[in-house]
Amino acid sequence: MSRAAPPVREARVRALAKINLDLRVLGKRPDGYHELRTVFQTISLSDTIRIAFTPSRETRVELNDPLRIPGNLALQAAELVLDAARTRGRVAIGLTKRIPMGAGLGGGSSDAAAVLLALPVLAGFALPLPRVCELAAALGSDVPFFLLGGTAAGVGRGGELFPLPDRPSPAALLVAPGLHVSTPEAYRRLSPRLTTESQQNKIFSFQSLAWDGGVSKAACNDFEAVVFQQYPQLARLKRRLQKAGAFQVLMTGSGSAIFGLFRTDAEACRARSGLAGENALRISLVTRARYRSLWWRALGQHIDQKIWPPRSRYAR
Ligand code: C5P
């Protein structure tokens, strides 16, 4: 009699993009990275990831990535998870990209975090959150944020995270001009401008912004000075959004995408029509509560309880 094929456990999850509602770079650290103060925010724009896990004696991780992204972090995340859990099996990942790359929207980091959250659930083991955060930080500075979502203050390399309160989303537009900005290059250009005297000031103004929940006219992104110098069209785009009535307009991460927050939907719609020819999208800011409920729904049949991080029903 032939033995039944091992069960395949599958899920289709959304990996959301982020914007930085504020981003200050304090200086270079002994490890070569830069010390940050930032406010991360998940947004409604997302990639879709299908993940299938089949128990097997051999480990094989396959990625269906039509864009053939070099060094894809989702693949690395799957290998790290199986290694950390000392589990073998076949993993098939299918990626549908919608988040523009090199735009400061954290698409690759979010894809990786999605695998870190979903694969343990499908494979039936529990990795404690601190361990998953450690794996996430090894993959990239922005990856840990996507394990938590919502609005969060990020310090250190960006992976030390503290929750900020959920609140209703203002009307928002995101313009992705299709320019690919290199993050290491942006840091290299910014680094010589950072002086120790300005740090104290930055910390206090960041703190006051964080107490306001991250949305404020006083918000800033230190990368704008160097990236706008290289791409003056981005400075022009920012001015257009400001003129269209946005009360907060900032580049996200090291660029190139720019977002604008508006007081009303009507204002955001008008601004979008005025940006004909630009890739301007209506987005909403996704709260932590919504982020979690999207995850619980996506993993529905594989979990028993609504707890965070999602916990496998197959885990012993
Ligand atoms: O951590 P991640 O691989 O995403 O970082 C990409 C590059 O950005 C790093 O190689 C480093 O040059 C720079 N970086 C930095 N300080 C940070 C985060 C990133 O210098 N806090």
Whole-number pLDDT of residue 201: 86
Tokens 């601190």 found at: 130
Structure tokens that stand for 74 in this block: 């989702």
Q: Is residue 159 part of a domain?
A: yes
Is there a single domain that holds both residue 110 and residue 211?
no
Q: Is residue 310 part of a domain?
A: no
144: domain CATH number is: 3.30.230.10
Give me the catalytic one of 22, 111, 142, 222: 142
- 26 with 36: CB under 8 angstroms? yes
Is there a single domain that holds both residue 140 and residue 176?
no
E strand or H helix at 40, and its extent?
A: strand 34-55
The preferred substitution site among 20, 33, 189 for testing ligand 1, maximizing ligand atoms within 8 Å of CB, is: 33
Task: Please confirm whether the linkage preceding 309 is cis (ω < 30° from 0).
Answer: yes
Identity of the amino acid at 252: T
E strand or H helix at 203, and its extent?
A: helix 197-211
Q: What is the CA radius of gyration of the chain?
A: 20
Whole-number pLDDT of residue 68: 83
Is there a single domain that holds both residue 42 and residue 114?
yes
Whole-number pLDDT of residue 195: 77
Instruction: Tell me which residue has its CA closest to atom 11 in ligand 1.
Output: 184
What Å distances lie between residue 294 and 28, 149, 157, 161, CA to CA? 37, 11, 27, 21
Is there a single domain that holds both residue 244 and residue 186?
yes
Residues whose CB falls within 8 Å of the CB of residue 207, separated by 6 or more in sequence, listed in order:
none
Q: Is residue 2 part of a domain?
A: no
Q: Is residue 133 part of a domain?
A: yes
Nearest-angstrom CA–CA distance, 41 and 209: 14
Nearest-angstrom CA–CA distance, 127 and 152: 22
- 127 with 117: CB under 8 angstroms? no
Is there a single domain that holds both residue 184 and residue 274?
yes
DSSP code at position 196: S
Nearest-angstrom CA–CA distance, 57 and 87: 9
Structure tokens that stand for 280 in this block: 């301007």
Nearest-angstrom CA–CA distance, 84 and 157: 23
Report helix, strand or coil for 204: helix
Distance 152 CA to ligand 1 centre (A): 19
Whole-number pLDDT of residue 20: 98
Q: Is residue 308 part of a domain?
A: no
- Which residues have CB under 6 Å of ligand 1? 33-34, 36, 140-142, 157-158, 183-184, 187
Is there a single domain that holds both residue 159 and residue 44?
yes
Q: How many domains does the chain have?
A: 2
Is 243 labeled as catalytic in the residue annotation? Answer: no
DSSP code at position 205: H
Instruction: Tell me which residue has its CA closest to atom 20 in ligand 1.
Output: 33
pLDDT per residue of the chain (316 residues) written in tens, 0 to 9: 556 777 899 999 999 999 999 999 999 999 999 999 999 999 999 999 999 999 999 999 999 888 888 889 999 999 999 999 999 999 999 999 999 999 999 999 999 999 999 999 999 999 999 999 999 999 999 999 999 999 999 999 999 999 999 988 999 999 999 999 999 999 999 988 887 767 778 999 999 999 988 888 889 999 999 999 999 999 999 999 999 999 999 999 999 999 999 999 999 999 999 998 899 999 999 999 999 999 999 999 999 999 999 999 998 7
Is there a single domain that holds both residue 43 and residue 156?
yes
Is there a single domain that holds both residue 205 and residue 184?
yes
Is there a single domain that holds both residue 101 and residue 184?
no
Distance 200 CA to ligand 1 centre (A): 22
199: domain CATH number is: 3.30.70.890
Whole-number pLDDT of residue 216: 84
Tokens 């910014």 found at: 190
Q: Is residue 132 part of a domain?
A: yes
The preferred substitution site among 29, 31, 34, 35 for testing ligand 1, maximizing ligand atoms within 8 Å of CB, is: 34
End-to-end CA distance of the chain: 30
Is 18 labeled as catalytic in the residue annotation? Answer: yes
Distance 38 CA to ligand 1 centre (A): 14
Is there a single domain that holds both residue 177 and residue 156?
no
Helices (H), 124-196: 129-139, 183-190
Domain that holds residue 253: 171-283
Whole-number pLDDT of residue 2: 58
Is there a single domain that holds both residue 39 and residue 66?
yes
Distance 183 CA to ligand 1 centre (A): 7
Give me the catalytic one of 18, 111, 222, 238: 18
Distance 187 CA to ligand 1 centre (A): 8
Q: Is residue 158 part of a domain?
A: yes
Q: Is residue 201 part of a domain?
A: yes
Whole-number pLDDT of residue 1: 53
Is there a single domain that holds both residue 122 and residue 255?
no
